[in-house]
Amino acid sequence: MNPSPAPGLAVRPYFDPFDPALHTDPYGRYASARETSALCEGPYGLVVVTRHAEVSRALRDNRLGHGPLTAPNRIFSFLGMDPPDHGPLRRLASRFFSASAISALAPRIAVLVDYLLDIALEKRQVDLLSDFAYPLSLRVVCGLFGLPEQEQPWIREQTPPIARLLDPPYALTEQDMTAAHSAAAGFVAYLHRKINDRRRHPGPDALSALIAEADSGGPPARHDLLPLCALLLMAGYETTANIITNGALALLRHPDQLALARSRAGGGLLDSGAMNELLRYDSSIQITFRTVQQPAVIAGTPLHRGTPVALLIGSANHDPRVFARPERLDVSRASNPHLSFGAGIHYCLGAPLARLEASVALGRLLARTRGIESTPGAVRHKDITATLRGVTALPVTLTAP
């Protein structure tokens, strides 16, 4: 832990990206920080970047990186790697997310969404998170790896403690570390068993393909295989489930925009303008962290090597310098350079898959219902990490046309 403030930042306003109150109202707090300064000072000597131009530039600046892999974040593979280690693993994983690989998944995603909606419309009262968004996103990503449906609830249970590791190690308590390590150990043992099984009985899935590459000399090296699978599995479903529910909640709170989106979703697909606006408005990733690897300058402030940096993606997405009336949900917004999928070398590899899943899920939900009533009561947000944003549940009543 480094509690000393970054040099030159003594007079900056203070912003704590780990403040649990941020889960309730991030955007009001971002606005007051952002309008005061492009850079704030945070705990642990953090430099907190608030505005779109600076966050965008910092995401693309390879002088900001992650440094040597530490035991806790090793489980997230190339997400936590700098060049030159990052590139070969990312290129390898890219093949599963190419345009053709994703469009081949489209029919299966539509069938899955309709199956879940059939059940939901019959029940009428459902939780859009646990009855719709989670089963969909888990089945899609586990389907890529050939992991059976009955194991998916267990995978979901392991995620919250492991996802804690998305926050930097200096922000984790001993208790967090212990819980994360024990969940990670169980998950690693599970993946080991899967890898061994699949080595003996290969199938037409991503896991078998990765094992074949590793066994023929790589990349991936054999020791890279397990974290690579863990990253693709975990990155693949929590964020997607959250954008589906964050998006549905945003539409429910803006009935005029819901009606507009529904009028354009006749084919069962949310249009890309509306999808981008939902991604911008309440992204399932709010913050990402870096450490200065080589002296860099942000907003005219020189930062020395070792300085920890927090990039407020959620704040950048609401910066009035870039988005007119940013607090308004506007599914017809013409220009939408949101940063919800990051930028630069770590730009989200799964962005096309996430867009497809969320557009089909929300598009068919709108097209196949006449009404969606949210159950009165306060919506609560998960308090897993500073990075992730999503509700704990979204109870609704659905009316068929």
Residue of 283, 226, 181 whose CA lies nearest to 78 = 226
Min separation Cβ 62 and ligand HEM, Å: 12
In this structure, what token pair is assigned to residue 332? 């017809």
Q: What's the one-letter identity of residue 389?
A: R
CB-wise, 45 or 236, nearer to ligand HEM?
Answer: 236
Min separation Cβ 228 and ligand HEM, Å: 9
211: left (phi over 0), alpha (psi -120 to 50) or beta: alpha
Residues that bind ligand HEM (CB under 6 A): 59, 78-79, 90, 141, 231-232, 235-236, 239-240, 243, 283-285, 288, 340-342, 345-346, 348-350, 353-354
Percentages helix, strand, coil for the chain, rounded to the nearest 5?
Answer: 55, 10, 35
Min separation Cβ 97 and ligand HEM, Å: 7
Min separation Cβ 38 and ligand HEM, Å: 19
Min separation Cβ 102 and ligand HEM, Å: 10
CB-wise, 55 or 303, nearer to ligand HEM?
Answer: 55
Query: Would strands 47-49 and 308-312 be described as parallel, antiparallel, or unpaired?
Result: parallel
CB-wise, 129 or 141, nearer to ligand HEM?
Answer: 141
CB-wise, 143 or 236, nearer to ligand HEM?
Answer: 236
Report H helices in 201-300: 206-215, 222-252, 255-264, 272-281
At 322 the three-state DSSP class reads coil
Contact 75, 165 (CB under 8 A): yes
Residue of 79, 96, 201, 197 whose CA lies nearest to 143 = 96
Residue of 377, 354, 318 whose CA lies nearest to 55 = 318
Report H helices in 124-215: 134-145, 152-163, 174-200, 206-215
CB-wise, 82 or 131, nearer to ligand HEM?
Answer: 82
Q: What HEC string does 85-127 produce?
A: CHHHHHHHHHHHHCHHHHHHHHHHHHHHHHHHHHHHHHHCEEE
Min separation Cβ 115 and ligand HEM, Å: 20
CB-wise, 274 or 348, nearer to ligand HEM?
Answer: 348
Min separation Cβ 51 and ligand HEM, Å: 17
Which residue has 């940096």 as its token pair? 309
Min separation Cβ 356 and ligand HEM, Å: 9
Tell me how far apart the terminal alpha carbons of the chain are, to the nearest angstrom: 56
CB-wise, 5 or 42, nearer to ligand HEM?
Answer: 42
Q: What's the one-letter identity of residue 156?
A: R
CB-wise, 5 or 286, nearer to ligand HEM?
Answer: 286
CB-wise, 5 or 355, nearer to ligand HEM?
Answer: 355
CB-wise, 326 or 390, nearer to ligand HEM?
Answer: 390
Min separation Cβ 76 and ligand HEM, Å: 8
Alpha carbons 208 and 178: distance in angstroms, whole number = 31
Question: Nearest residue to ligand HEM, using CB?
Answer: 350
Min separation Cβ 397 and ligand HEM, Å: 26
Contact 116, 131 (CB under 8 A): yes
The radius of gyration computed from the CA coordinates of the chain, to the nearest angstrom, equals: 21
Query: Would strands 296-298 and 301-303 be described as parallel, antiparallel, or unpaired?
Result: antiparallel
Q: What's the one-letter identity of residue 149?
A: E
